A and B are shown apart, each in its own frame.
Chain A
Amino acid sequence: MTQTSHKQMHLNLNLRGVGFHRSGWRHPLSRVEETITVEFHQELARLAEKAKFDAVFLADSPVMSEAGNSTQPLDKPFEPFVLLSAIAAATENIGLIGTVSTTYYDPFVVATRTASLDLLSGGRLGVNFVTTQGDRVAKNFGFDTHPDYSDRYTRAEEFLRLVLALWNNREPDNSRTVKHRGRYFALDRGLDIARSAQGRPLVVQAGASENGRGLAASYAEAVYTGSSTLANGQAFYRDVKSRAAANGRNPETIRILPGIVPFVGGTEAEALRLERELEDLSSQDIDTIAWLSSELETDLTNHDPSGPLPFDILPTEHTYRKGVSRLLRLVAWAREDDLSIEDLARKAFARLRNVHWTLAGTGEQIADQLQAWFQGGAADGFNILTPVNPIGLEGFVSEVVPILQRRGLFKSEYSGSTLRSNFGLEGGTK
Chain B
Amino acid sequence: MSVLEHDVLLNLDLRPLPVKGGAAPDVRNLVTSVALAQDSGFASIILPGLSSSEEGAAPAGFEATTAASFLASRFKRIGFITPVLLPEEHPYLAARQLASIDHVTHGWAGWLLSTARRSVPLDRFEEAVTVVSGLWDGWKEGALRFDRKAGTPVDPALVNQLDHSGRYYKVQGPISSSRPPQEQLPLFVDVGNSPVEEEFAAFYADVAIINAETVKEAVQQALRLRNLASTDNRSGGPLRILATVTPVSGSSSQVARDELLASTGGKIPQGRIVLTDTSEQIVSVLQELLSSKVIDGFNVSLPVETELLSQFTSLVLPELRRSRQPVTIDLQSLRHSYGLGKAQRPPVLQTSNEVAAE
Contact = CB atoms under 8 A, between A and B. Distances in A.
Report if A and B associate in a common complex. Answer: yes
Counting contact residues on chain B (CB < 8 A from A), the size range is: 35 or more
A116 interface: yes
A64 B143 CA distance: 14
Contacts of B288: none
B70 A65 contact: no
B176 A26 contact: no
Interface stretch (B147-155, B269-277, B296-304): B147-155
A68 B139 CA distance: 12
Nearest to B85: A109
A76 B169 CA distance: 24
A66 to B, nearest CB: 9
Counting contact residues on chain A (CB < 8 A from B), the size range is: 35 or more
By CB atoms of chain B within 10 A, which of A30, A70, A104 has the most?
Answer: A70
B331 interface: no
A415 interface: no
B286 to A, nearest CB: 31
A79 B92 contact: no
Interface string B153-165: 1111001010000
A38 B106 CA distance: 9
Contacts of B62: 116, 119-120, 193
A232 B174 CA distance: 38
Contact of B70 (A32, A36, A117, A189): A117
Contacts of B69: 82-83, 85-86, 89
Contact of B89 (A42, A109, A120, A285): A109
B27 A78 contact: no
30 contacts: A36-B144, A38-B72, A62-B93, A62-B96, A64-B159, A72-B154, A76-B177, A77-B178, A79-B65, A79-B93, A79-B96, A79-B100, A82-B65, A82-B97, A85-B65, A86-B72, A86-B73, A108-B88, A113-B63, A116-B62, A116-B63, A119-B27, A120-B67, A120-B70, A139-B170, A141-B92, A141-B171, A194-B24, A194-B26, A194-B61
B315 interface: no
Interface of A: 18, 23, 25-26, 28, 30, 32-33, 36-38, 42, 62-65, 67-79, 81-83, 85-86, 88-90, 104-106, 108-109, 112-113, 115-117, 119-121, 136, 139-142, 174, 188-189, 192-194, 281, 284-285
A63 B152 CA distance: 20
Contacts of A64: 159, 173-176
B23 to A, nearest CB: 10
B76 interface: no
Contacts of B172: 136, 139-140
B101 interface: yes
